[in-house]
Chain A
């Protein structure tokens, strides 16, 4: 009888340590991994896309600032380009 209960006690102890304890450790490990993944996503995707967007906006502003040279020829070239684009749109729309 004593041996029987001792056996059961050992099995229960093993279950408690390896199975139920293991499940808890596994869940904790999974959440830890999930937390790391979320941190990576936050730094690189959610926040990263904001930073990238601001950088691109800065680059775009820099490109536009290059056009503002103060030289009349540059402005005239842009005006001419705009006229050509507008004319193209007009021709294309009248055809349609």
Chain B
């Protein structure tokens, strides 16, 4: 059932690419239908998978001479991330309802990207996973370069360079794993039992982990993220922060940690205080949490605030992965879902609801516009999204970050104390942005007053309301009753920790 999410998305992309030009309404409704159908399959697959372990649903020989299969399967982690992708896809289409420039092509690239993301989360063959991973990179480039804004060519190229550099590192690791396994198979299930030599895992793990972590926005390889998010059109920003960064984190977990767990063993010596790759990546994650939050605090562009906040929040995912314990890793997967929803909502508010009406993202200018009075829905939506982003109780971020921090405390309390600074700064940058963008009391300029009286901002549309309700509702639902996802994630993490992906 879940395989249909991939087939539908690519079929939709092809149909949209060949659809006659000049029918934007048709393209929009078609894209929405495909996205909703994908979400329906994702929900059905999620419900059907409750209480089940790893389920293989497609296994076809693809390149038999090399033992490569078209192998699609899902465990609890995959199901949750497929659900996230479905939600992000529907919300992305809704917040792109106003796209007029080459509408067919926009939605064709959008659905191709979604198809690639579904593919990565459902592939249990190493090469197939890599192919879908690469497929997801290409549409990102075009979405930013054609429909983007601020320095779009620069941002698109930067994103492509970082992504392909990461992919090259991953590919080397995958080829080495295939050659060393001796199993003549690229199945993740079989390679999970290959038992690679410790020395091999020691160099292959950091290579593959770093390659994937680049896409997860790990410090100091994060700089593609803020510029990419800012330059991208709203839907692409939502997908970049919402699901594409999760591809990286998922790769770190599914390939890096699952295949090369001994790569995290102690080195047997200490190098400037680091005794293993686990220490190195955990510290990089904590630096990302604090650094991303601090840089977000210093931004003057509203979208950059959200862009850097993504770097900070993704640091929690990487920290959770490095705990290597049940609670921390479960928190990391939940944080992937939570951040995907919240970042999507924040980018939608900033990029679609605010920027498309005010034509500015500068906080100093927004401060003079009194948006809480002129766009009360946007102000309320940002208050809710901001509370979710800060990790207040009742929202998904609270449960996820709490689990990551508890897991990290068991390993090294200093990581938690340092990450705590990031949480406090996170509250500061969110409130600062909220205050300046919506509740600013700076006097309006004569031009602004004239605009306020003569040209009221466009009314909120039904796709915007639907999108906000969908994403905010998802974060609240998980925050209030986290077992919806935890019951699915926990067994999968337990199985992964027990050794191998089965």
Q: Which residues of A contact B425 (CB under 8 A)?
A: 31, 35
| Nearest CB of chain A from residue B214's CB, rounded to whole Å | 12
Q: CB of A14 within 8 A of chain B?
A: no
Q: CB of B352 within 8 A of chain A?
A: no
Q: Is the CB of B294 within 8 A of A34?
A: yes
Q: Is the CB of B223 within 8 A of A35?
A: no
Q: Which residues of B contact A35 (CB under 8 A)?
A: 294-295, 297-298, 425
Q: CB of B435 within 8 A of chain A?
A: no
Q: Is the CB of B298 within 8 A of A38?
A: yes
Q: CB of A7 within 8 A of chain B?
A: no
With an 8 Å Cβ cutoff, the count of chain B residues facing the other chain is: 14
| Nearest CB of chain B from residue A58's CB, rounded to whole Å | 11
| Nearest CB of chain A from residue B96's CB, rounded to whole Å | 28
Q: CB of B161 within 8 A of chain A?
A: yes
| Nearest CB of chain A from residue B207's CB, rounded to whole Å | 20
Once the chains are docked, how many angstroms separate the CA of A31 from the CA of B293? 11
Beta-carbon contacts of B224-243 to A below 8 Å, as 1s and 0s?
A: 00010000000000000000
Interface residues of B in 1-18 (CB under 8 A from A): none
* Nearest-neighbor residue (CB-CB) of A31 within chain B: B425
Q: How many A-B residue pairs have CB under 8 A?
A: 33
Once the chains are docked, how many angstroms separate the CA of A34 from the CA of B295? 9
Q: CB of A15 within 8 A of chain B?
A: no
Q: Which residues of B contact A50 (CB under 8 A)?
A: 158, 223
A31-B425, A31-B428, A35-B425 are known contacts. Are A47 and B295 too (CB-CB below 8 A)?
A: no
Q: Which residues of B contact A47 (CB under 8 A)?
A: 223, 227
Q: Is the CB of A39 within 8 A of B223?
A: no
Q: Is the CB of A38 within 8 A of B291?
A: yes
* Nearest-neighbor residue (CB-CB) of B296 within chain A: A35
Interface size class of A (residues with CB under 8 A): 10 to 19
Q: Which residues of A contact B360 (CB under 8 A)?
A: none
Q: CB of A84 within 8 A of chain B?
A: no
Once the chains are docked, how many angstroms separate the CA of A5 from the CA of B331? 52
| Nearest CB of chain B from residue A5's CB, rounded to whole Å | 36
Q: CB of A42 within 8 A of chain B?
A: yes
Q: Pick the contact of B297 from A32, A42, A46 — CB < 8 Å?
A: A32
Beta-carbon contacts of A34-59 to B below 8 Å, as 1s and 0s?
A: 11101100100011001000100000
| Nearest CB of chain A from residue B429's CB, rounded to whole Å | 8
* Nearest-neighbor residue (CB-CB) of A57 within chain B: B161
| Nearest CB of chain B from residue A92's CB, rounded to whole Å | 32
| Nearest CB of chain B from residue A51's CB, rounded to whole Å | 9
Q: Which residues of B contact A36 (CB under 8 A)?
A: 298
Interface residues of B in 413-438 (CB under 8 A from A): 425, 428
On B, residues with C-beta under 8 Å from A are 158, 161, 220, 222-223, 227, 291, 294-295, 297-299, 425, 428
Provide a sorted-by-A list of 26 A–B residue pairs whose CB atoms are within 8 angstroms.
A28-B428, A31-B294, A31-B297, A31-B425, A31-B428, A32-B297, A32-B298, A35-B294, A35-B295, A35-B298, A35-B425, A36-B298, A38-B291, A38-B294, A38-B295, A39-B294, A39-B295, A39-B298, A39-B299, A42-B291, A42-B295, A46-B222, A46-B223, A47-B227, A50-B223, A54-B161
Q: Which 9 A-B pairs have the closest CB atoms?
A: A35-B298, A39-B298, A35-B297, A47-B223, A35-B294, A38-B294, A38-B295, A46-B220, A36-B298
